[in-house]
């Protein structure tokens, strides 16, 4: 039996991570322990098996399957359009491409706000159908009951404070949170309450460095910042943003580590030119006999 030359296989190299886990799977215990040792957590988004395998091989500690996929992949204006079905599908294929990073899947809008029972059911189904390690919920005091119930069901939960994209309209747009003492105190109180409810980590988004530092110092679980300054216990970026694929998005906090948007246009343009000129495929690209 001859192999099909169009069949593709994916190689997923193993790697170490800051916590010294070698090739084994990163756990919530590892992430919490990294904070106590002063080691920074490296997190990034991924939405498919191929990119998941690449960032996993680069030894990131945590992969977030964010509901940002609604904007990044689907062209929606906000994350609100993401569905449980979408998050489950993308979570499953990310896990398929991952061998060692800890995978967290966002719970989308209205999948945990309607009732505690529905929150637990949706969280359980996401974990069961994806094989991910945890789910992430946005909010503070308003979601404590859901967090407690999900954790009691044996499902790890990551929190999310500051700018919470699912509340973009209620917050009046993409606004920095925690700009005065009252707002910072509330963020600290919400973070402490989330830790007491059982979260293993909290994302801090769009807040002044001093606010993120206050939150980070107030809790024993790690904080992962995005637009929250350098004093969080780790950092997360959207992969397509930091690779320069999402060229229309350039907030102050974003650092681009590549310009792949331009590279893609150049590569496809050269391909199109060679096809139109009859230079591709050449003799070496054909099969004889």
Question: Is position 205 annotated as part of the catalytic site?
Answer: yes
In a 3-state reduction of DSSP, which class is residue 106? strand
CB 197 within 8 A of CB 177: no
DSSP state of 81: G
Of 183, 167, 207, nearest to 79 (Cα)? Answer: 167
Q: Tokens 């061998």 — which residue? A: 99
Distance CA 65, CA 228 (A): 20
Distance CA 215, CA 202 (A): 10
Distance CA 61, CA 55 (A): 9
DSSP state of 93: H
Of 47, 46, 48, 44, nearest to 60 (Cα)? Answer: 44
Q: Which residue in 85, 189, 205, 274 is the catalytic one?
A: 205
Residues belonging to the active site: 205
């Amino acid at each position: 039996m001859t192999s099909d030359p169009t069949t593709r296989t994916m190689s997923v190299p193993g790697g170490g991570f800051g916590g010294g886990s070698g090739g084994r799977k990163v756990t919530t215990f590892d992430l919490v322990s990294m904070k106590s040792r002063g080691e920074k957590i490296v997190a990034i988004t991924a939405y498919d098996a191929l990119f998941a395998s690449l960032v996993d091989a680069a030894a990131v500690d945590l992969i977030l399957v964010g509901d940002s996929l609604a904007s990044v992949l689907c062209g929606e204006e906000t994350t609100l359009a993401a569905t449980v079905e979408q998050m489950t599908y993308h979570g499953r294929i990310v896990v398929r491409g991952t061998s060692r990073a800890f995978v967290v899947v966002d719970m989308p809008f209205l999948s945990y706000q309607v009732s505690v029972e529905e929150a637990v059911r949706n969280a359980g189904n996401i974990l069961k159908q994806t094989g991910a390690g945890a789910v992430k919920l946005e909010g503070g005091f308003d979601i404590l009951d859901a967090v407690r119930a999900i954790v009691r069901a044996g499902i790890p939960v990551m929190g999310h404070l500051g700018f919470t994209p699912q509340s973009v309209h209620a917050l009046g747009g993409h606004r920095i949170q925690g700009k005065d003492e009252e707002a910072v105190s509330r963020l600290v109180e919400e973070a402490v309450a989330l830790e007491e409810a059982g979260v293993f980590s909290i994302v801090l988004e769009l807040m002044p460095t001093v606010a993120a530092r206050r939150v980070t110092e107030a809790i024993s679980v790690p904080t992962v910042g995005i637009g929250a300054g350098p004093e969080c216990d780790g950092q997360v970026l959207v992969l397509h943003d930091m690779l320069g694929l999402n060229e229309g998005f350039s907030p102050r906090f974003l650092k681009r580590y590549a310009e792949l948007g331009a590279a893609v246009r150049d590569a496809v343009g050269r391909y199109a030119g060679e096809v139109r000129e009859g230079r591709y495929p050449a003799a070496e690209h054909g099969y004889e006999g």
